[in-house]
Amino acid sequence: MPALSGGRRLVSRGPKRIWLGRLAGERTRGKWLGLILLFLASAVAYGATIGGQTERLFNALTNGAARIAVAGGFGVERVTIEGHRHASNVEITAALAADPNTVMLGFDTDAAKARLEAVPWIKHARVMRLLPSTLQVVIEERVPYAIWQSKGQTYVVDTEGAVITPALREAYPQLPFVVGDGAGKHAKALHVELEDFDELTAKLLAALRVGDRRWTLKLVSGLEIMLPDDNIGEALKSLTKLDRDRGLLDKNIAFVDLRLLDRVTVRLREPTPAETPDDAGISDVPTASTKPTPSDGKT
């Protein structure tokens, strides 16, 4: 009986002891396997670092992950572009810098936006990822506003004076023509002032920026109108009154100086038989410049 009793105790407890022992053995082997793998990984990383191959190893792992993502349908397979008219598809795709091997999840839309907005015709751009494989690009282009001539070269500029592209004057006959340093930047402000003077603008050939502080208007007839630094609108009202009363703009005059606060100065061209004595009497119609302006070399 003691033997049987002991046997019962051995049988009832034996399976637990065998099971626990097997589990403990497997856990021990798992720990050793993990340590071995960790050791091997550390050895590879250490060897790569010592051998200067860390970057290559990292790139290999990154490229492997990228290939897996592309193979899984997360590469750039389609690009849609909206809003472009002048900017070419070649310029846009080059700035976008995406191809079928580009991983959608890793594509930097902010950097792509900055590259697109560096294209001269593009003012604003939006780049959106439409998973799994489409990039959507929405573009707002610059609007040509004037032709700017500087140092013998001509350019199309927008309302802010940003250069869009080199251009011939004849290619944009409907745009205002401005000349000189700073003329492109200030063209919009000048033509806002000229909006109420249709008869004058109809005769306007070009606007010359002088010293990047004021304008001289050159008419088709060759007449030059020297504007003040400020209060351009009031000065032009004085000119319009003078033209209405005495037909100033149709006379044989070389230039009209509106820069001074209290008078209009004119210079006649060489007299002709058609001229009348009244042509020399225009000198005292006040303008609205708020301060006298130094001479620009013309008196």
User: Under a CB-based contact definition with an 8 Å cutoff, are residues 130 and 74 in contact?
Assistant: no
Statement to judge: residues 247 and 179 lie in one domain: yes
Domain presence at residue 286: no
Q: Looking at residue 219, which CATH number applies to its domain? A: 3.40.50.11690
Distances (CA, A) of 105 to 8, 10, 132: 65, 61, 9
Statement to judge: residues 266 and 151 lie in one domain: yes
Distances (CA, A) of 178 to 51, 152, 188, 216: 63, 12, 10, 10
DSSP bridge partners of 131:
none
Statement to judge: residues 276 and 192 lie in one domain: yes
Structural domain count of the chain: 3
| Phi, psi at 292, each rounded to 5° | -60, 150
Domain presence at residue 243: yes
Last residue of a domain, one of 141, 163, 193: 141
Last residue of a domain, one of 110, 141, 172: 141
Domain presence at residue 291: no
Statement to judge: residues 152 and 167 lie in one domain: yes
Q: Give residue 198's pLDDT.
A: 92
Q: Looking at residue 122, which CATH number applies to its domain? A: 3.10.20.310
Statement to judge: residues 47 and 125 lie in one domain: no
Domain presence at residue 9: yes
Domain presence at residue 86: yes
Q: Give residue 33's pLDDT.
A: 55
Q: Give residue 40's pLDDT.
A: 53
* Average pLDDT per 10 consecutive residues for the chain, totaling 299 residues: 43 41 49 54 54 51 49 74 92 90 87 95 94 91 96 95 93 95 96 93 95 95 93 91 85 90 82 49 40 44
Statement to judge: residues 265 and 167 lie in one domain: yes
Statement to judge: residues 210 and 189 lie in one domain: yes
Q: Give residue 51's pLDDT.
A: 54
Domain presence at residue 297: no
Statement to judge: residues 205 and 243 lie in one domain: yes
Domain presence at residue 174: yes
Residue 266 Cα to chain centre, angstroms: 44
Distance CA 257, CA 293 (A): 11
Statement to judge: residues 272 and 155 lie in one domain: yes
Residue with tokens 């407890």: 13
Domain span at residue 179?
146-280
**Ranges of H-type helices in the chain:** 2-50, 54-69, 89-96, 109-116, 183-193, 198-202, 232-246
Statement to judge: residues 156 and 248 lie in one domain: yes
Q: Give residue 148's pLDDT.
A: 97
Domain presence at residue 62: no
Statement to judge: residues 202 and 260 lie in one domain: yes
Statement to judge: residues 171 and 254 lie in one domain: yes
